[in-house]
Structure 1
Amino acid sequence: MSDADLRTYGFPPGYFIIKNVATGRLLDVESDLIEDGTPLILWPETETSLVEDMRKPESNNQVFFIDTSGALCSRSSGHAIDVESDRPVLRHRRPVSHPFPNAYSHPPPRFSYDPATQLITVAFVFDPSYPSSGDREAALSIWRDKTYLLTSIPLRKPRTLIDDASELLTSALSVPFSLFGHTAPTSPRPDQVFDSGDIDLREDEILEQERSEEGEVDDSPEKWRQVRVIGIAKEDGQIAGEEAKKRRQWIVVPLRAHKTRTAASVEIAR
């Protein structure tokens, strides 16, 4: 039987872990919960062994597989992965409800992995925003023309009083230069841009194409990072910076059923 017949959509058969290139963290079901709608996050690796019978069962929330229907699933709960408001979440199977499809009842999206590009794409059968029937035709071309990618979101460390004082001192020192027409150019921080008026966006809500070099800084001491499914046009994907590209790249590592004995280990055993 060929790989195409297995319908694993680029993922290896059996169980595997999914590591983000930019952060080095693994895709993880938050707190190993099993409730419907539990979000997926990034978390440091909790088990280093790749041999199934040597791994701690409590690390199964960092293990995934493709089931017989082609859905990406969590090993710890067995539930499929869905996308809810651009967030990957656990999803129980649900009965059909009308009008179908809707945000409650719909086919799960298909996650596919390309080892060459290291991208995980998400294909939806229907518009993931699930517009009303009157708006579906108008929105049809918009969502179909996008490529949906799984990506990590950078997280900044909280600003301190020292940071604010240092910035105030820098601004004060630049005032004399402005008297002679030599004002030093400054670049606003993301929190200045989005908190200066009525706009109040969190770091994870900044559009990918609007994220500045400053916005790519990922220096928070927190262990977790958020993941999102973003819809991008072809031109947006081509102009993405290096950091953005790394955040969209993943390394999928299969687990082994048994510990592999090498020729060297056999010779030592003799």
Structure 2
Amino acid sequence: MSGFLIGDFILLSLGSSRVLDVRKCRTVDGADLILYPCKERSLDEGNRDGWNDNQVFFIDEQGSLIGKQSKSAVDIQDGQLVLDSLKPGKIYPKFSYVADTRHITVQLPASSASREGGQLYDSKIYVLTYYPKPNPRVAFADGSSLATALLPPYGSFVDHAAEETIEQQTPQDGEAEDDSLDWIRILKISGIESEDTVADAERLRRSWEVIPLRSA
């Protein structure tokens, strides 16, 4: 069992308050998936604009994640989530939802040699998450910091504090702030580690809610 609901649904990232989205409503092979603000308020399929179905998905009998608008499977190529039109005989990544942890897990197809032995999927399990996008910050000699988005234009703040030492801060990925006003977040898959080793911010980025659509 995949753990997903039967029928169409929206996947909400609890860490970003954005939903899974096929960028620019593209339907061609290789179209990339991102996180983007939800474009449609209604959960009633009869009242929704079909143009927004690039944010609607379902799970097929093989556990593949399918985009409603394109009817293509979600594949993983070079670490990126992309669309790939369903091809006879091709095995696509298997997606599952774990309600207890709110994780979306991913199993990749096994190697050709393993498939010849009857193993369809690799034994390693990944979890779906995304890269945080912080506002650029500057650090001062006294240890304080400020998001550059809050600085006055043309460097006037720096001019008035010329005696301060300013350097860019680059926090670790797991600890990075995710406060950029950019609407887009980039998805990735990560190996599952012990929860004790995962930062709180990253734990939230790995949390998802499956929101079902109501049939007309």
Aligned to 2:189: 229
How many angstroms apart in 2 are the aligned matches of 1:42 and 1:125? 24
Q: 3-state DSSP class of the match of 1:27? A: strand
How many angstroms apart in 1 are the aligned matches of 2:56 and 2:179? 26
Instruction: Return 5+ residue gaps in structure 2 as ranges.
Output: 114-121, 138-147, 149-153
C-alpha displacement of 1:246: 0.5
How many angstroms apart in 2 are the aligned matches of 1:170 and 1:22? 35
1:171 partner letter: T
Instruction: Return 5+ residue gaps in structure 1 as ranges.
Output: 1-6, 97-105, 134-142, 173-185, 192-209, 259-270
The answer to whether the 8 Å contact 1:86/1:230 transfers is no
C-alpha displacement of 1:93: 2.8
How many angstroms apart in 2 are the aligned matches of 1:153 and 1:168? 34
Aligned to 2:179: 219
Q: 3-state DSSP class of the match of 2:165? A: helix
Q: 3-state DSSP class of the match of 2:211? A: strand
Higher-Rg member (1/2): 1
Q: 1:220 to 1:53 in 2, by over 3 A?
A: same
Structure 1 segment 1-270 matched on structure 2, within 5 A: 7=1, 9-94=2-87, 106-126=90-110, 144=123, 146-158=124-136, 162=155, 165=158, 169-171=163-165, 189-190=169-170, 210-211=172-173, 213=175, 216-232=176-192, 234-235=193-194, 237-258=195-216
Give CA-to-partner distance per residue, 1:219-244, whole Å, 9 cap, x none.
22211111111124x34x43111110
Aligned to 1:99: none
How many angstroms apart in 2 are the aligned matches of 1:149 and 1:164? 42
Identity, in percent, stands at 34
Q: 1:217 to 1:35 in 2, by over 3 A?
A: same
1:108 partner letter: Y
The answer to whether the 8 Å contact 2:62/2:94 transfers is no
TM-score normalised over the length of structure 2: 0.78
2:39 partner letter: T
Q: 1:164 to 1:241 in 2, by over 3 A?
A: farther
Higher relative strand content: 2
2:76 partner letter: V
Q: 1:163 to 1:16 in 2, by over 3 A?
A: farther
Give CA-to-partner distance per residue, 1:91-117, whole Å, 9 cap, x none.
123466xxxxxxxxx510100001221
The answer to whether the 8 Å contact 1:20/1:152 transfers is no
Give CA-to-partner distance per residue, 1:22-58, whole Å, 9 cap, x none.
1110000000101111111011010011111011111
The answer to whether the 8 Å contact 1:52/1:257 transfers is yes
C-alpha displacement of 1:158: 4.7
Q: 1:122 to 1:212 in 2, by over 3 A?
A: closer
How many angstroms apart in 2 are the aligned matches of 1:84 and 1:34? 16
The answer to whether the 8 Å contact 2:67/2:74 transfers is yes
Give CA-to-partner distance per residue, 1:181-205, whole Å, 9 cap, x none.
xxxxx9x7228xxxxxxxxxxxxxx
How many angstroms apart in 2 are the aligned matches of 1:247 and 1:163? 36
CA RMSD, Structure 1 to Structure 2 (Å): 2.8
Higher relative helix content: 1
TM-score normalised over the length of structure 1: 0.64
